[in-house]
A = this chain, B = another copy of it.
């Protein structure tokens, strides 16, 4: 990310200012949680993608800054509500909003944060704001749909690989795609380039989520600092699960579903049994192949974008670095 360090600094500084403003706004119980969740940090990949796409067309970062912040604010709205939905107590080693305050405050400050994102679009001075609204609204609804599908998956016994890809496309890849598209809109890129940026981001986002699912179990070293097999232990339905479900024979399938619904199985036994099944079915390789396919589609789209080879190369390197780590 070195080449984009300047953008990261601008974003970090603006978010710090925003946190201060939010902590001072009334009613405190509605605004302080917004400041708090932003303060928990993160790599700010999404606003960075807005500024990067804007930069492909040699535009000043300040022009797209409000839109970049709106994207980060939206992302944090979704985190507040998702933590309520998932009943998650911790995020980035700190209490989640509903744990620190309560569910009601988390619901309402989440609503407010979603509206704050729109307020930031409203406050921006770019000349094609209607296109921004249009893309942003479309993205926001898709992200909610993805979250609903993810919730629906919890009680489904049959999930195809296509179902799974559709869910992560909506829940995760759409916001990556839209961030790049919004940067393109800010820079007055052609409609074709806006669509290519979206396509690039969408497939990079899908590849990212597949790799992230795969690394949960198959990380070579514990570089991510994550517990190995956490998704399995939490019964999270991943690309590995979807492949296993679809490649396994009836008896294995039954065992997998039984382990995913059982509360009595010992963790080590569960993890080992499922890992063995995944290994026998070679689902890791399937996942890697699928991620590669999506990465290739993304890079093909990028080649068609009307910008210099140098800028494209920077974006390719950035995307490659993203796929190997958490967003």
Contact = CB atoms under 8 A, between A and B. Distances in A.
Interface of A: 26-27, 29-30, 81, 84-85, 104-105, 107-112, 114-116, 118-119, 121-122, 129-130, 133-134, 137-138, 140-141, 144-145, 147-149, 151-152
Nearest to A149: B27
B108 A148 contact: yes
A74 B108 CA distance: 14
Contacts of A134: 122
Nearest to A30: B148
B85 A151 contact: no
A111 B144 contact: yes
Contacts of A138: 119
Contacts of A133: 118, 121-122, 133
9 contacts: A26-B145, A27-B148, A29-B151, A30-B145, A105-B148, A105-B151, A109-B148, A115-B137, A118-B133
A31 B144 CA distance: 11
Task: Say how many copies of this protein the assembly contains.
Answer: 2
A141 B112 contact: yes
Nearest to A117: B137
A27 B152 contact: yes
A105 B116 CA distance: 23
A151 B112 CA distance: 15
A119 B133 CA distance: 9
Given A30-B148, A81-B108, A112-B145, 15 more contacts: A81-B107, A85-B107, A104-B151, A105-B148, A111-B111, A111-B144, A112-B141, A112-B144, A114-B114, A115-B137, A115-B140, A115-B141, A116-B141, A118-B137, A119-B137
Contacts of A145: 26-27, 30, 112
Contacts of A112: 141, 144-145, 148
B129 A141 contact: no
Contact of A119 (B29, B141, B152): B141
Contacts of A149: 27
A144 B30 contact: yes
Contacts of A147: 108
Given A134-B122, A137-B122, A81 B111 contact: yes
Contacts of A118: 118, 133, 137, 140
A138 B109 CA distance: 15
Contacts of A110: 111
A27 B114 CA distance: 21
Contact of A144 (B115, B122, B137, B144): B115
